[in-house]
């Protein structure tokens, strides 16, 4: 990418605009900035999940595989942010989407078919995986909104979709590896 921050504050955004890497100035609520912000929030939440996985992996060695599978996602989200900031930059590759699909398939086979809706919870780690999943969906919605205004590469949209799926299955695999029961939805009683 080559672009580096030499100064953290510039005072150029105080009036509600920000600069893109191509020199354009846009409002801070522009769909591109909204998409960048949601991807950044997702990356921050994923960082928290990874930190908690690292803390728990000594107790639960089966979590090392989850940590190894999710760690590259932070870097790819940064690549996606780069694409959003500099549309000419193409950091995400289709091979990364295939990587996520392979992990999803393997973990789905291990946890078995879903028989009921699952609620976020069971442990802090499981809940954080679901927080990341919901932020991935939010980032996907923001990018879809931007795509309607300024088309994005299909890899960007597909990556966020697969990442949210991966995070859902990651929560299930974490529960299995930590031997924690998933919190199943219970319909309200009628009457």
| pLDDT tens, per residue, the chain with 191 residues | 455 556 555 655 565 776 777 778 877 878 999 999 999 999 999 999 999 999 998 888 899 999 999 999 999 999 999 999 988 889 899 999 999 999 999 999 999 888 888 878 889 999 999 999 999 999 999 999 999 999 999 999 999 999 999 999 999 999 999 999 887 888 888 87
Cβ atoms 128, 49 nearer than 8 A: yes
137-152: pLDDT as tens digits: 999 999 999 999 999 9
CB count in 10 Å sphere of residue 63: 21
Angle 172-131-117 from CA coordinates, rounded to 5°: 45
Within 10 Å of residue 90's Cβ, how many Cβ atoms? 13
pLDDT (0 to 100) of residue 25: 80
Residue ranges of domains in the chain, CATH in brackets: 28-182 (1.20.1200.10)
pLDDT above 90 covers a percentage of the chain that reads 66
Tokens of 157: 């949209």
Query: Angle 117-44-94 (CA atoms, 0-180°, nearest 5)?
Result: 75
Nearest to 3 by CA among 63, 71, 85, 107: 85
Question: Percentage of the chain surpassing pLDDT 70?
Answer: 91
| Predicted pLDDT at 103 | 98
pTM summary value = 0.88
pLDDT confidence of residue 1: 46
pLDDT attached to residue 7:
58
State residue 6's pLDDT score: 60
Q: Please, are residues 174 and 125 in contact by the beta-carbon 8 Å criterion? A: yes
């Amino acid at each position: 990418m080559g672009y580096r921050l030499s100064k953290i504050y510039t005072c150029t955004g105080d009036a509600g605009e920000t600069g893109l890497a191509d020199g354009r100035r846009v409002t801070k609520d522009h769909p591109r900035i909204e998409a960048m912000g949601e991807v950044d929030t997702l990356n921050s939440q994923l960082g928290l999940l990874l930190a908690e996985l690292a803390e728990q992996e000594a107790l639960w060695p089966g979590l090392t595989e989850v940590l190894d599978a999710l760690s590259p996602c932070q870097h790819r989200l940064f690549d996606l942010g780069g694409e959003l900031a500099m549309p000419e930059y193409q950091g995400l590759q289709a091979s990364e989407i295939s990587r996520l699909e392979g992990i999803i398939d393997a973990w789905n086979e291990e946890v078995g078919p879903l028989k009921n809706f699952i609620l976020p919870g069971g442990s802090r780690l499981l809940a954080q995986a679901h927080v990341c999943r919901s932020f991935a969906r939010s980032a996907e919605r923001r990018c879809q909104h931007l795509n309607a205004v300024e088309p994005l590469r299909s890899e960007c949209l597909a990556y966020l979709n697969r990442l949210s799926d991966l995070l859902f299955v990651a929560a299930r695999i974490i529960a299995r590896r930590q031997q924690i029961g998933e919190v199943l939805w219970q319909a309200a009683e009628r009457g």
